[in-house]
Amino acid sequence: MTRSLQAVAYTRSSTLESAPDGRRLGLETSRGATPRGVEDHPRFFAGFLTSPQVASAGLLAVADVAGARYYQQQLRSSLDPVVTGNGDRLRFESFSGCGGVYARLDVLAAGLDGGEVGHGTTNVDVNNPLREALSRIGSDDPLHLRVGPDELAVTTLDGPVVEKKVPLPDRWLRGFAEAQVTAAGFDLRAELPAAEAVRFLRSLPRAGTRGSSRGVRWVVPAGNVLRPTTRPVPGAICLPGPERLVALQRVLRHASALRVYGPALTGSAAAASAWEVVLPGMRLTLTLSPETSRGFSGEGGVLDALATDEAAGDAELISVLLAWEPRIDVGDLATASGLPAERVRAALVRLGTSGRVGYDTAEAAYFHRELPYDAERVERHNPRLRAARDLVGAGAVVLDGNLGTVTAQDGHAHRVRDDAGVLSCSCLWWAKYRGGRGPCKHALAVRMVRRGAVSGQAEVLFEGGAR
């Protein structure tokens, strides 16, 4: 696995301090993107939180996921959360070190008071002393939140004084992006009222406890409850690795509802799902990969949308039109760009792979943000796409109606069938995953040839390994 060190620098550590008018929570920012360009320490908000206890618990939950590994727990991992200002809300995001859990706290307009929300994305410092201070907040006394340097410090910054260096594996980056693409295929599957949400989530096992399960569970909605089932019956929801929802325990006493999102199940294979706790003026969402040992980086959900030459140009055009919207309207972008809605959606998928958009399941829409990580380095490590391009460049693909024959270097021929746009292949990859982790390199090569793709161009996508 390719990995490097990510350096995150702050002017000082984030703190929670007492003040005459209540407490003040100062969250320090690192280098990030804004409408004015890249800034070392952007400032996104200065005002009050309407529900300090809830916001503190939600921020701790996001930090819990950032510092967790739900698979191979003996390995340590901690990356500071990402904060995005979208003009009307603040979003705090994190991704687990094992690459299988994505967390996001949306602090909506109703959760903020007395300040304008800026635009941009960067890392935010959540250190251990701050975590301890936030965990002790026991009342809803006034809490002033500042995201970014204080007003007096903005013009007097002499450079970073706090620097963190943490490992940043390529698979972690790919997974962070792939989680957004996966979530874009979800629909609302169940909604539980507060009391039932608390009962259900508290009944789940925790890691390391007797009865804990690292396997896949299935639940089925029955009125206002979720009932366990032994198999994926019609209408069932996959709950992969239920102990990975432990971070939601932080906010349960403040919950008003639990919403569950997932894909329409078509077989017995495990599937990803998203679990959203509705809070006063906020939402906390955890998205789980299909298995505890299987992160998002190998899902391949971006491959079909990106195996075209036009996708690169479309994404560049759409990126120019983005303006840190909290909810990206595909119709508006289609009108502004002159592109069909289908190509706009494909462009958004491509932008998602480079961290330039996220996906909000509650609003069924992408939102603009720019992850503060080196996505270009990851783009050089895409074995399945690279292998498919090599096959196309070597002339290994022969089309015959809805059939394609791909001859590998060892002379073995693989048959790829196109059934109304759905590709299947005779290779072992297809036999094992049945398309559940994106197309194999042979199907991808056939699709490239059908669409007139040329070899040797560096496409932007994140996916797992070539097979």
Confidence of residue 467 (pLDDT cuts 50, 70, 90): very low
pLDDT at 302: 62
Per residue, the 3-state secondary structure of 369-400, as one string, reads CCCCCCHHHHHCCCHHHHHHHHHHHCCCEEEE
Residue range 203-228: average pLDDT? 79
SS (H, E, C) 174-186: HHHHHHHHHHCCC
Task: Give the mean model confidence (pLDDT) for residues 392-412.
Answer: 90
Report the phi/psi class of residue 81: left, alpha or beta, with left for phi > 0 and alpha for psi in -120 to 50: beta
Spatial neighbors of 63 by CB under 8 A, at least 6 apart, are: 81, 94, 126, 131
The whole-number average pLDDT for the span 22-30 is 94
Q: Which has more pLDDT, 457 or 239?
A: 239
Instruction: Write out the E strands in 300-381.
Output: 357-360, 365-368
Q: How confident is the model at residue 310 (pLDDT cuts 50, 70, 90)?
A: confident
Can you tell me the mean pLDDT for 436-463?
Answer: 65
Helix, strand, coil % over all residues of the chain, rounded to 5: 30, 30, 40
Q: Which letter does DSSP use for residue 110 in this model?
A: G
Return the pLDDT at 153.
52
CB atoms within 10 A of CB 230: 7
Query: Which segment of 155-169, 241-255, 261-275, 315-329 scores lowest on mean pLDDT?
Result: 155-169
Rounded Cα gap, residues 467 and 387, in angstroms: 9
Q: Which residue has the tokens 């009962």?
A: 199
DSSP 247: G
**Predicted confidence band of residue 431 (pLDDT cuts 50, 70, 90):** confident
Torsions phi, psi for 182 (to 5 deg): -60, -45
The domains found in the chain, sorted by start residue, are 3-93+105-168 (no CATH), 181-293 (3.10.150), 382-467 (no CATH)
Judge whether residue 159 has pLDDT over 80: no
Confidence of residue 85 (pLDDT cuts 50, 70, 90): very high
Range 54-76 average pLDDT: 87
Mean pLDDT of 317-328: 94
The letter for the amino acid at 112 is: L
Compute the average pLDDT of residues 280-296.
Answer: 93
- How far, in Å, CA of 446 to CA of 419, rounded? 13
Average pLDDT over residues 151-163: 62
Q: What is the mean pLDDT of residues 144-165?
A: 74
- How big is the chain, counted in residues? 467
Average pLDDT of span 165-175: 81
Taking 90 as the threshold, does the pLDDT of residue 373 lie above it? no
Across all residues in the chain, what is the average pLDDT? Answer: 86
Mean pLDDT of the 348-363 span = 90
Are 173 and 462 in contact by the 8 Å Cβ rule? The answer is yes
pLDDT at 103 over 90: yes
In this prediction, residue 88 carries a pLDDT of 96
Confidence grade of residue 175 (pLDDT, cut at 50, 70, 90): confident
218 three-class SS:
strand
Report pTM. Answer: 0.85
Task: Work out the number of other CB atoms within 10 angstroms of the CB of residue 139.
Answer: 8
3-state SS class at 194: helix
State the pLDDT confidence band at 27, using cuts at 50, 70 and 90. very high
- Tell me the C-alpha to C-alpha distance, in Å, between residue 32 and each of 8, 28, 29, 94: 10, 12, 8, 16
The CA-atom distances, in angstroms, between 12 and each of 26, 27, 126, 128 are: 10, 9, 11, 14
- pLDDT of 92 strictly over 80: yes
Q: Which helix (H) or strand (E) holds 269?
A: none
Percent share of the chain, pLDDT over 90: 55
For 404, the 3-state DSSP assignment is strand
Give the chain's end-to-end CA distance (angstroms, integer).
16
Per-residue model confidence (pLDDT) at position 158: 58
The dihedral region occupied by 304, where left means phi > 0, alpha psi between -120 and 50, and beta the remainder, is alpha
Which positions ≥6 away from 334 have C-beta within 8 Å?
Answer: 340, 341, 344
* Least confident span in 77-91, 150-164, 385-399: 150-164
